[in-house]
Amino acid sequence: MKSGRRRVYRSEGVAVIMTVITFCVILLLFAMSGVLCFKSLPILKTHSLSELLTASSWRPSKNEFGFFPFIAGTLCVTAIAIVIALPLSFLTAVFLTEYSSGRIRRYVYPALDILSSLPSVIFGVWGTLVIVPWISKRVAPLFVGFSSGYTLLAAGIVLGIMILPLLVSLFTELFSSVPIGLKEVSASLGATRWQTTKKVVIKRSLPGLFATVVLALSRALGETIAVLMVCGNLPQVPHSLFDACYPLPALIANNYGEMLSVPLYEAALMFAALLLFFVVLIFNVLSRIIYRAH
């Protein structure tokens, strides 16, 4: 048995090391924002913020850095992804928690797990293999005639599928946390299954639902490689589902190699990264606040 005091010194000593390591986590967050801010300064000094965010012309060699096409691209892709994923995931989650039998759940949960663990490059490969040709050959001719398939729609579909498992798992957690007593009371008052679900479960979970969507949005915003592989990579504001687009993460990923060749290019790309960082930060904190208030 070690001597009494030495045990305590050891314990306290280890505590100091652990405190330092743990503190580094918070430090990392601040370091990231600080470094990205610092590296974006050159471009912020020569172009005003509003000009950067609203101008549409992206010609780095001529010192024109209009981020609007990329911001619009990011917003459009994310919007389409949510439109596709939200109804599917919501209905699936309601079904899994309120209606389904254990047998169905035993097959669906692992399947969703597998979907969520697939790397994003695999989604990109699948998108290129299946979705792009499908849009090019089957969908586009019905609407606009010709399309290469590398479109906003393709990116939206792929992204939507990628955030499906997250939405389903967060929704099922939400719905499961509604106290069973409430549901029983509702049933004892004569409500049907659906009435109970609609008026008790869903109504109670509304703030949580909102927070979940915000969280999923932040995840979708940052998705890089799968979207890059199917979106078309044209710096233009997309006017139709069959236009190519160019979301912010794709911008950073595609051009990092040429960063150091044109002046201010590096600052511009770091500014794009900074934008992503802050939007994700705000969304995460927002959803946390809503969860806590709920």
Partner 1 sequence: MLKEKIAKGVMYVALAIVFAIIVLILSSIFIKGVKCITWEMVTSLPCGDFYTGGRGGFLNAIAGSLCIVSIATIIGLFISIPILLYLNIYLAKGSKFAFAVRLSLDILFGIPSIVYGAFAFIIMIYIGMRASLAGGILLTILLIVPVLVRSMDEFAKSFPQELLEVSYSLGATKLQTIGLIIRQIAPGIAAATLLAVGRAIGDTAGVMFTAGFSDSLPTSLTRPVATLPLAIFFQLSAPQEAVQERAYAAALVLTVIVLIISLLGRFITNRFGRNRL
In the region spanning residues 190 to 249, those forming contacts with partner 1, defined by CB under 8 A, are 192-194, 197, 215, 218-219, 221-225, 229, 249
* Residue 91 engages partner 1 in binding (rule: CB under 8 A): yes
Of residues 52 and 220, the one with the C-beta less far from partner 1:
220
Binding letters toward partner 1, positions 146-185, x by CB under 8 A? ---------------x--x---x-----------------
User: From CA 273, how far away is CA 37, in angstroms rounded?
Assistant: 9
* Residue 117 engages partner 1 in binding (rule: CB under 8 A): yes
From 83, 111, 182, 185, residue interacting with partner 1 (rule: CB under 8 A):
111
Smallest distance from the beta carbon of 72 to partner 1, in angstroms? 18
SS3 59: strand
Smallest distance from the beta carbon of 16 to partner 1, in angstroms? 10
From 69, 124, 149, 208, residue interacting with partner 1 (rule: CB under 8 A):
124
Smallest distance from the beta carbon of 73 to partner 1, in angstroms? 15
From 74, 78, 92, 212, residue interacting with partner 1 (rule: CB under 8 A):
92
Cβ–Cβ < 8 Å for 166, 217: no
User: From CA 262, how far away is CA 65, in angstroms rounded?
Assistant: 12
* Residue 262 engages partner 1 in binding (rule: CB under 8 A): no
Cβ–Cβ < 8 Å for 152, 241: yes
* Residue 7 engages partner 1 in binding (rule: CB under 8 A): yes
* Residue 115 engages partner 1 in binding (rule: CB under 8 A): yes
Smallest distance from the beta carbon of 145 to partner 1, in angstroms? 25
**Type and span of the H or E element at 13:** helix 4-46
* Residue 288 engages partner 1 in binding (rule: CB under 8 A): yes
* Residue 83 engages partner 1 in binding (rule: CB under 8 A): no
User: From CA 148, how far away is CA 238, in angstroms rounded?
Assistant: 15
User: From CA 151, how far away is CA 230, in angstroms rounded?
Assistant: 7
For partner 1, the binding residues in 29-68 under the rule CB under 8 A are 29, 31-32, 35-36, 39
User: From CA 132, how far away is CA 78, in angstroms rounded?
Assistant: 18
Of residues 28 and 182, the one with the C-beta less far from partner 1:
28
Of residues 152 and 226, the one with the C-beta less far from partner 1:
226
Q: At what angle do helices 248-255 and 265-293 cross, to 10 degrees?
A: 140
Q: Of 279, 176, 167, 261, which Cα lies nearest the Cα of 218?
A: 279
Q: Of 22, 170, 155, 149, which Cα lies nearest the Cα of 78?
A: 155
* Residue 138 engages partner 1 in binding (rule: CB under 8 A): no
Cβ–Cβ < 8 Å for 223, 161: no
